């Protein structure tokens, strides 16, 4: 599966970090579950599981089964939106996200996923509005994911100050989430605050396995601080663990900034 949602990973987060994917809606009003709705939910849950494993054809089949059981089940359209987003079928992705939200306007997961779709297509302000809608629902169980995605979207937009504010808010909602921590570390490095960047990097290292981004940041911090041994350690780890990453490419090209 292409990493089109930061979940999470998301967003998520769990994005996917891919935890941004979910078949459950954070609804403002309770719904009575009929037999057809129960079947649709089972098929949709299976579809999300296959989607997470990158089995798009099977995920698509499960989403269609869900809608055959209950054509008004919004989460199935949310799943279709994610599938078509991953397949770069943008028109179909947007249509299905909008259908999901038309059926379940308080579905924070759909708002979150649609927001990331819009940001990935350069429609940053529209995407940020979707994250705001996701967070507005008081029953949303994972608002830190939408807040983190809003930070990522703001970075893509070039608004680093706003991105920092979103990451800080995400950590207030859920302390110890690795992604906003490393993103704040990188932003601190960009501002020239090496001590804060190092503090946040150390915090990230204590709670999460290394990523290409964290190793690249560590390498650049040590390079600026003049610790050749630590710089060499990060250099070796980055090449070994993530040989095909953009960060390794920058390293090999000598582009440290």
Q: Any idea what the CATH number is for the domain that residue 211 is in?
A: 1.25.40.10
What pLDDT is stored for residue 10 in this prediction? 47
**Domain finish residue from 91, 126, 142:** 142
In a domain, 219, yes or no: yes
Q: What is the pLDDT of residues 141-184, one digit of tens each?
A: 999 999 999 999 999 999 999 999 999 999 999 999 999 999 99
In a domain, 203, yes or no: yes
The burial class, CB within 10 Å (0-12 / 13-18 / 19+), for 233 is: middle
Q: Are residues 108 and 218 in the same domain?
A: no
- Sequence-ordered alpha helix ranges (H) in the chain: 35-52, 56-69, 74-86, 90-103, 108-120, 124-136, 143-157, 160-173, 178-190, 194-207, 212-225, 228-241, 246-253
**Domain finish residue from 123, 142, 161:** 142
- Lowest-confidence pick of 30-39, 121-130, 221-230, 247-256: 30-39
Q: At what angle do helices 56-69 and 35-52 cross, to 10 degrees?
A: 170
Among candidates 6, 41, 46, 16, which has minimal Cα distance to 131? 6
Q: Are residues 100 and 182 in the same domain?
A: no
Q: In this model, does residue 17 exceed pLDDT 80? A: no
Q: Are residues 137 and 188 in the same domain?
A: no
Q: Which residue has the higher pLDDT, 32 or 124?
A: 124
Q: What is the pLDDT of residues 196-232, one digit of tens each?
A: 999 999 999 999 999 999 999 999 999 999 999 999 9
In a domain, 125, yes or no: yes
Q: Are residues 197 and 135 in the same domain?
A: no
In a domain, 166, yes or no: no
54 backbone dihedrals φ, ψ, rounded to 5°: 85, 10
What pLDDT is stored for residue 166 in this prediction? 98
Local confidence band at 251 (pLDDT 50, 70, 90 cut-offs) = very high
- The rounded distance, in Å, linking the Cα atoms of 220 and 224 is 6
Domain span including residue 99 = 1-142
Local confidence band at 257 (pLDDT 50, 70, 90 cut-offs) = confident
- The rounded distance, in Å, linking the Cα atoms of 237 and 153 is 29
Domain count, the chain: 2
Q: Are residues 2 and 104 in the same domain?
A: yes
In a domain, 151, yes or no: no
What pLDDT is stored for residue 32 in this prediction? 56
Distances (CA, A) of 105 to 113, 212, 251: 13, 37, 46
- The rounded distance, in Å, linking the Cα atoms of 40 and 49 is 14
In a domain, 169, yes or no: no
Q: Are residues 130 and 182 in the same domain?
A: no
Q: Are residues 20 and 137 in the same domain?
A: yes
**Domain finish residue from 127, 142, 157:** 142
In a domain, 159, yes or no: no
In a domain, 91, yes or no: yes
Q: Which residue has the higher pLDDT, 5 or 195?
A: 195
Q: Are residues 130 and 206 in the same domain?
A: no
Q: pTM of the prediction?
A: 0.84
What pLDDT is stored for residue 68 in this prediction? 97
- Residue 49 tokens, joined: 């599981």
- The rounded distance, in Å, linking the Cα atoms of 249 and 162 is 29
- Secondary element (H or E) of residue 8: strand 7-11
Q: Are residues 130 and 215 in the same domain?
A: no
Neighbours of 144 (CB within 10 A): 25
Q: In this model, does residue 19 exceed pLDDT 70? A: no
Q: Are residues 135 and 202 in the same domain?
A: no
Q: What is the pLDDT of residues 61-109, one digit of tens each?
A: 999 999 999 999 999 999 999 999 999 999 999 999 999 999 999 999 9
CA dihedral 187, 192, 198, 199 (to 10 degrees): -70
Q: Are residues 103 and 26 in the same domain?
A: yes
What pLDDT is stored for residue 123 in this prediction? 98
Mean pLDDT of the residues in the chain = 89
Q: Are residues 136 and 23 in the same domain?
A: yes
């Amino acid at each position: 599966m292409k990493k089109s949602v930061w979940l999470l990973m998301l967003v998520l987060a769990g994005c996917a970090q891919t935890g941004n994917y979910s078949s459950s809606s954070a609804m403002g009003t309770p719904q009575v579950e009929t037999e057809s709705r129960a079947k649709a939910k089972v098929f949709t849950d299976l579809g999300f599981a296959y989607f997470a494993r990158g089995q798009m054809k099977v995920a698509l089949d499960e989403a269609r089964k869900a809608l055959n059981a209950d054509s008004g089940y919004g989460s199935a359209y949310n799943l279709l939106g994610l599938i078509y987003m991953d397949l770069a079928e943008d028109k179909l992705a947007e249509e299905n996200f909008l259908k999901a939200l038309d059926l379940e306007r308080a579905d924070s997961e759909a708002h979150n996923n649609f927001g990331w779709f819009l940001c990935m297509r350069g429609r940053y302000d529209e995407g940020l509005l979707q994250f705001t809608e996701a967070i507005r629902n008081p029953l949303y169980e994972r608002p830190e994911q939408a807040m983190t995605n809003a930070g990522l979207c703001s970075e893509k937009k070039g608004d680093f100050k706003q991105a920092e504010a979103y990451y800080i808010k995400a950590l207030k909602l859920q302390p110890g989430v690795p992604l906003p921590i490393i993103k704040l570390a990188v932003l601190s490095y960009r501002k020239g605050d090496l001590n804060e960047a190092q503090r946040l990097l150390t915090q990230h290292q204590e709670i999460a396995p290394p990523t290409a981004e964290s190793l690249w940041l560590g390498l650049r911090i040590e390079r600026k601080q003049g610790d050749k041994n630590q710089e060499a350690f990060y250099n070796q780890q980055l090449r070994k663990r993530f040989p095909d990453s953009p960060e390794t490419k920058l390293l090999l090209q000598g582009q440290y900034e």
